[in-house]
Amino acid sequence: MRVLITGGAGFIGSHIADRLTADGHDVLLLDTLLAQAHGDHPAPWSGGHELVRGDLRDAALVRRLLSGMDAVCHQAAMVGHGIDPSDAPGYAAHNDLGTAVLLAEMYAAGVDRLLLAGSMVVYGEGRYDCPEHGAVRPGPRRRADLDAGRYEPPCPACGRDLVPGLVGEGAPLDPRSTYAATKLAQEYLAGAWARQTGGSVWSLRYHNVYGPRMPRDTPYAGVASIFRSALERGEPPRVFEDGAQRRDFVHVTDVAAANALALTADPPPEGFAAVNVCSGEPHTIGDLAGTLAAQMGGPEPVIVGGARPGDVRHVVADPALARRRLGFSARIGFTEGVAAFATDPLREPAGRS
């Protein structure tokens, strides 16, 4: 297939480009090269592919690039926790307006197959069960509780501690940050496009992706990159809350494999379908910090308490649907992946490329 990969010079997009090329597909990369992730120039690993530097919101450019394409793999986005609500216009402009322009031009060009970089952030908190009330949906955690070191969300009916479980794709969607809201809007836009056009969309809801080529030392970097940068400075990783927050850390090469499978899978009969892309191996944030510190011979993590606005306590994915519908199962285990990440090449920030 001939595939346009938006955000193709980025962390995840570049791995997808390599994987699709290895599988015999013909790829074209489009990337605006946002300074906070790329600096002024694409990284060396993009050199093996045709790359167009441009803005996804440039309809004329997108129209030209879509000529002759069979599918689009849409990875372009502002990502991460960001700085504060002043980021909101940038997130909405890049993530949602950019997606809307892309979908409109795909319709005009007759390109009817889309792979969307979804995200686990659309769930907000994960799945929880109360011993008395069964499956419940906790509300946002109160600042007073966080300040007092009470991190577990209580049952909204009785106030008891909840038991976290695996979140499936049918869970209620409850974005709790600006980034999360824009990722959910992308899914809604793509779902509406599929219904209106008869096109197909697989939204691959990535969980905590890590691995080589991660951007480093920016407010938009992932937690694994932040911990590694601290260790390289000889500082202990600083872990919020008590370190017991549970996540699913999935290696970027597994994410690329999931995209390759979705590209050649039968289109979802419902037009739009979302699947978790995860390892199926839950670990805590403290596990990540401690394992990485041990691999790098650095100081042990420091638990600093507190929590950032919008942080959730636990979100751990159920991998069953991706296995059933795409044949996807992650291959890189946590210990193996984190050991490699200790020395993996990372993307230097602006000014250090």
Q: Which residue has the higher pLDDT, 1 or 221?
A: 1
Strands (DSSP E) contained in 258-332 are 272-277, 282-284, 302-305, 316-317
Q: At what angle do helices 98-109 and 59-66 cross, to 10 degrees?
A: 40
CA–CA gap between residue 268 and residue 209 (Å, rounded): 24
| Predicted confidence band of residue 36 (pLDDT cuts 50, 70, 90) | low
Q: Which of 172, 164, 210, 113 is nearest to 315 (CA)?
A: 164
Residues 6 or more apart whose CB falls under 8 angstroms from that of 244 comprise 151, 284, 285, 286
Give the largest CA-CA distance in the chain: 58
Q: Is the model's pLDDT at 352 over the cut of 60?
A: no
- Distances from the Cα of 315 to the Cα of 70, 186, 321, angstroms: 34, 20, 16
pLDDT of residue 140: 86
Strands (DSSP E) contained in 220-280 are 238-240, 246-251, 272-277
Reported as type and span, the H/E element at residue 22 is helix 11-22
What is the Cβ-side half-sphere exposure of residue 337, based on CA atoms within 13 angstroms?
24
| 128 is known as an active-site residue | no
The residue annotated as part of the active site, out of 123, 179, 206, 220, is: 179
Task: Give the mean model confidence (pLDDT) for residues 157-173.
Answer: 94
What is the Cβ-side half-sphere exposure of residue 62, based on CA atoms within 13 angstroms?
27
Residues 6 or more apart whose CB falls under 8 angstroms from that of 242 comprise 149, 151, 286, 303, 305
**Rounded to two decimals, what is the model's pTM?**
0.95
pLDDT of residue 311: 86
Instruction: Evaluate whether 353 touches 17 at the Cβ level (below 8 Å).
Output: no
* Cβ count within 10 A of residue 84: 11
Task: Give the mean model confidence (pLDDT) for residues 325-332.
Answer: 98
Q: Which of 15, 13, 80, 48 is nearest to 216 (CA)?
A: 80
Q: pLDDT digits over 233-243, tens only?
A: 999 999 999 99
Give the range among 38-42, 245-249, 349-353 with minimum mean pLDDT.
349-353
| Predicted confidence band of residue 37 (pLDDT cuts 50, 70, 90) | low
Q: Is the model's pLDDT at 353 over the cut of 50?
A: no
230 φ/ψ angles, rounded to the nearest 5 degrees: -60, -45
What dihedral angle (degrees, nearest 10) is formed by the CA atoms of 333, 347, 291, 284?
-70
| Predicted confidence band of residue 184 (pLDDT cuts 50, 70, 90) | very high
Task: Give the mean model confidence (pLDDT) for residues 335-347.
Answer: 95
Q: Is the model's pLDDT at 92 over the cut of 80?
A: yes
Q: Which of 137, 127, 245, 120 is nearest to 179 (CA)?
A: 120
Residue 71 falls in which region: left (phi positive, over 0), alpha (psi -120 to 50) or beta: beta
Q: Which of 123, 124, 119 is nearest to 207 (CA)?
A: 119
